[in-house]
Structure 1
């Protein structure tokens, strides 16, 4: 029996819709039927793409990881220096939060709090966070060579500090319905603790 032809455009629409739905409603709050109806994919066709909702969850995490890596690389490539590039990356995130009126927050962090019973999703989330951390770490290491960031700390430790502080600020943003905690986070770290 021949395998059905799979459309990469359909797969991408499904991943984007699932990322949005998981962000707004949570993984468990998102019904597969409603999700598939929103992108006009019959349930039977869904299983040609993913064997389960959990597999879709893993693919959505991986998709989010790729999008984050592309955004970070674009911000760094277009910047005069790595610190400006990091600031640009986080400012892009802030703009996204403002456009959605603070709905959802960070998909990876939200899913991490919701999917601890799924080893496949937990592993995908761990990989996604390490990928993000490594991109930030590499920018910090380059900034250290340029004497733009203190060099008495390991760049991976500084990257962890920045991301973990950012994620805490995202929670505060959701509570306060304001991006001010995010701006304070960037100022305290990039303009304060990271300074040589």
Structure 2
């Protein structure tokens, strides 16, 4: 790998941690230079703007979390287990989140909702990808006979993601994993009610 490519990846990785902990608005270019040890001119050699760094940083953070989710999904034989993976990856969100600072999608969506169209579009795409992945799991569960045939796939995906993100937000805010853990228990009970095979 070329030195320039390594430097660019270093900027993205460190910026991803910074933005996911402090937010886009709460992070300055000076913070990035301090964290990376690269001067402003060096940063601009690789990126045209802070926006460009933020987009790539979010994609990087999302890929790290996505890899951890995919690894856990590979170990789950049932559709119910696969849906619960999304919450279980965040079971210890306070002490040991899958990416420093918590859920990149939740953090970006919360911050970019009102004022930043470029980042809002990144969050919107992340939302669509996550819901699509959940809908595919649910659809496979219906086709295999695990879930009831008349299940509203779209509604269950939305509900699952809402329970996940709500639990993360409450646990991070309170500094206690109990909200995510309670949501895992309650979603498990709810999903059992959707199953044909108990």
Q: Structure 1 residue 93: deviation in Å?
A: 2.1
Identify which range, 52-61 or 66-75, moves more after superposition. Answer: 66-75
Give the TM-score normalised by structure 1.
Answer: 0.83
Q: Structure 1 residue 52: deviation in Å?
A: 0.7
Q: Structure 1 residue 136: deviation in Å?
A: 1.7
Q: Structure 1 residue 50: deviation in Å?
A: 1.8
Q: Is it true that 1:25 corresponds to 2:26 in the alignment?
A: no
Gaps (5+ residues) in structure 1?
Answer: none
1:126 counterpart residue number = 124
1:39 counterpart residue number = 36
Matched length:
190
Gaps (5+ residues) in structure 2?
Answer: none
1-side partners of 2:147 and 2:5: how far apart? 41
2:76 counterpart residue number = 79
Structure 1 counterpart of 2:188, from 187, 190, 194: 190
1-side partners of 2:47 and 2:3: how far apart? 11
Answer yes or no: is the 8 Å Cα contact 1:36–1:43 preserved in 2. Answer: yes
Give the TM-score normalised by structure 2.
Answer: 0.82
2:163 counterpart residue number = 165
After TM superposition, list the pairs within 5 Å mapping 1:44-193 onto structure 2: 44-99=41-96, 104-115=101-112, 116-193=114-191
Answer yes or no: is the 8 Å Cα contact 1:76–1:82 preserved in 2. Answer: no
Secondary structure at the aligned position of 1:18 is classed as helix
Answer yes or no: is the 8 Å Cα contact 1:137–1:155 preserved in 2. Answer: yes
Answer yes or no: is the 8 Å Cα contact 2:138–2:157 preserved in 1. Answer: yes
Superposed CA deviations along residues 76-123 of structure 1, whole A, max 9, x for unmatched, are 2222223223333432222343226xx843232222222232211111
